[in-house]
Amino acid sequence: PRLTEQDYLDAAIQIGCSVAAIKAVASVESRSSGFLRSGEPVILFEGHWFHNLTNGKYTNEKNRDISHKRWLRTYYSMNQHKRLAKAVKLDRDAALKSASWGKFQIMGFNYKKCGFNSLQEFINAMYDSERAQLMAFVEFVISRGLDDELIELDWASFAYGYNGPGYAKNNYHIKMRRAYENFA
């Protein structure tokens, strides 16, 4: 099920920010739905995280599309669930932790910060609904201390905390600010 205005309002109340701020993040992170037409959640498999989480064990020519030392955009046009499935065959936990999941593109390794006791619980929620993805986002924002940044609309600080140090290169802060202005 898609998010409703009430879902956004519930999340905004929990965080203490505006609905427009949450919609801005959602629109930049996934652009539309948290699910593909197949019913699978939107994911982005991050080969550099798989490399890190497996200590480079699978970094070779055969697995260059799923395990590499540095962040690469090269494989983003590929079917992400096929990349994930290939990695799962090698190391399930590392693979699931190496993908960003759902409408808010939260990395699997952040499952505890999203309020889940296990990685599998997190994955189940990502398959459940956009509301479950939204509630994971709320918990993540609060646990990471990013709620103040959303409340104050400090997009650079929020993007740094949410997307990491590469946020500026990808203009996440500018994209979020512009999206916020559209929703506000």
Give the pLDDT confidence of 106-147 residue by residue, as tens digits: 999 999 999 999 999 999 999 999 999 999 999 999 999 999
Confidence at residue 32, expressed as pLDDT on a 0 to 100 scale: 80
> Which amino acid makes up residue 75?
Y
In sequence order, the 6+-apart residues with CB closer than 8 A to the CB of 94 are 50, 53, 54, 87
Q: Are 122 and 108 in contact (CB under 8 A)?
A: yes
Share of the chain above pLDDT 90, in %: 91
pLDDT of 1 > 80? The answer is no
| Pairing label, strands 99-101, 106-107 | antiparallel
* Structure tokens belonging to residue 7: 């879902």
Q: How far apart are CA 90 and CA 158, in angstroms?
A: 34
| DSSP character string of 119-181 | HHHHHHHHHH-HHHHHHHHHHHHHHTT-HHHHHHT-HHHHHHHHH-GGGTTTTHHHHHHHHHH
pLDDT for the residue numbered 19: 98
Amino acid letter for position 53:
L
Output the pTM of the full model.
0.94
